[in-house]
Amino acid sequence: MTLYIGREASKLWKRICAETTTEINLLLDNWKYVLAGLIFQYIHGLAARGVHYLHRPGPTLQDLGFILLPELGQDKAYISEMVFTFVFLSFVLWTFHPFIFKSKKIYTVLVWCRVLAFLVASQILRIITFYSTQLPGPNYHCREGSKLARLPKPDNVLEVLLINFPRGVIYGCGDLIFSSHMIFTLVFVLTYQKYGTRRCIKQFAWLVAIIQSLLIVASRKHYTVDVVVAWYTVNLVVFFIDKKLPELPDRTSGSSPLLLPLSTKDKDSKTKEENHKLLNGNSVDPADWRPRTQVNGKILEDANGIHVDTAMNGA
């Protein structure tokens, strides 16, 4: 038993080392995209902090979700946060599963490049919406009479830039018309929907996303329109951006990690380089100069193909 555990531990360690080397190489090639995505998360938090200074509390707007769903109450508002934390941590752990498990389909760095692109595009739209129109927040700390509903003018720029993390993020007001929690939840679910391998987990993830939507409204953290807008906007953003990005390599086929997909620009430059070599009289590949024979409109690599084709036609 001890021998078996030691052997498996040795295999696991080798797997982690090999995967770490691969991911570091990918990170060296894509660190600009990862860093830009992480920096924008701070910009998004800064924008949400800034709109809090513009927030003016008022009567809660009439909302169909508030009428249909029972109010959880201020003491149970943590339930939606617990569900979101579960979704966030589960997705992060899944993206790092190639370091542990032998069967793998994704590269961690490439998946996070994709996820950050989806998040940034959705958050840009969110910032535009809540700065275009400020609505009175339905959350308990955003209502009239709460000390947190209005922020006093900042004494200095540093007070704004620090965004009072994490209290300033948790008790924000005014960043409505687009639910931030639903942006993250839907991006994670859609990503697993495409690159995940377990059908039951995919179905469970969509169920959790629906429950999360209902909890956000029941907790009075957002209006129903904030959740609805997030559902169709995030899906559209992911759909269009995913079509523009190069497809991720599929690791289930056992291909080499270095054989990453070329973008359209790389393919065009490679084709131009090959044409340039041909015009200068240089061969691109000696194998391309092998004699080819055309039989029945088909170009064959060698004479052996003629016998095969003839035999097939005779049959």
Domain holding 65, by residue range, is 33-244
Cβ-count burial of 175 within 10 angstroms (0-12 exposed, 13-18 middle, 19+ buried)? Answer: buried
Six token digits for residue 234 = 């995030």
Using 50, 70 and 90 to split pLDDT, how confident is the model at 306? very low
Using 50, 70 and 90 to split pLDDT, how confident is the model at 309? very low
Q: What's the structural domain count of the chain?
A: 1
Nearest Cα residue to 229 out of 152, 128, 107, 161: 128
Using 50, 70 and 90 to split pLDDT, how confident is the model at 6? confident
- What is the β-pairing status of strands 293-295 and 298-300? antiparallel
Q: Which of 155, 181, 288, 307 is catalytic?
A: 181
Does a structural domain hold residue 59? yes
Q: Quick one: what percent of the chain has pLDDT higher than 70?
A: 77
What pLDDT does 112 receive? 95
Using 50, 70 and 90 to split pLDDT, how confident is the model at 275? low
Does a structural domain hold residue 165? yes
* Residue 60 near residue 224 (C-beta atoms within 8 A): no
Classify each residue of 101-131 as buried b or exposed e, where b means 16 or more C-beta atoms within 10 Å of its C-beta.
eeebbbbbbbbbbbbbbbbbbbbebbbebbe
The H-or-E segment that residue 210 falls in is: helix 199-218
**Contacts of residue 118, Cβ cutoff 8 Å, sequence gap at least 6:** 187, 190, 191, 234, 237, 238, 241, 242
Positions of E strands within 19-74 = none
For residues 169 and 30, the model is more confident at 30
Secondary structure (3-state) at 184:
helix
What's the pLDDT tens digit per position in 46-86? Answer: 998 889 888 888 888 899 999 999 888 888 888 999 999 99
The Cα–Cα gap between 181 and 189 comes to 12
Task: Give pTM, 2 decimals.
Answer: 0.77
- The CA-to-CA distance between both ends of the chain, in Å, stands at 60
* Residue 249 near residue 255 (C-beta atoms within 8 A): yes
What pLDDT does 259 receive? 39
Using 50, 70 and 90 to split pLDDT, how confident is the model at 286? very low
What's the pLDDT tens digit per position in 142-192? Answer: 888 888 888 888 888 887 788 776 666 678 888 888 889 999 999 999 999
Give me the half-sphere count of Cα atoms (radius 13 Å) on the Cβ side of residue 51.
Answer: 26
The Cα–Cα gap between 175 and 137 comes to 8
Q: Which of 44, 52, 55, 222 is catalytic?
A: 222
Nearest Cα residue to 164 out of 177, 175, 176, 151: 151
Does a structural domain hold residue 26? no
What pLDDT does 272 receive? 56
Rounded CA Rg of the chain: 27
- Highest-confidence segment of 4-8, 110-114, 270-274: 110-114
What pLDDT does 269 receive? 57
Residue 249, pLDDT above cutoff 90: no
Does a structural domain hold residue 163? yes
Does a structural domain hold residue 114? yes
Residue 18, pLDDT above cutoff 60: yes
Residue 81 — φ and ψ, nearest 5°? Answer: -70, -35
Secondary structure (3-state) at 222:
coil
Residue 279, pLDDT above cutoff 70: no
Does a structural domain hold residue 94? yes
- Asked if 276 is an active-site residue, the reply is no
Q: Which of 38-42, 45-49, 85-89, 90-94 has the lowest mean pLDDT?
A: 45-49
Does a structural domain hold residue 300? no
What pLDDT does 161 receive? 82
Does a structural domain hold residue 220? yes
- Asked if 222 is an active-site residue, the reply is yes
Residue 38, pLDDT above cutoff 70: yes
- Asked if 141 is an active-site residue, the reply is no
Whole-number mean pLDDT of the chain? 80
Q: Which of 226, 276, 285, 307 is catalytic?
A: 226
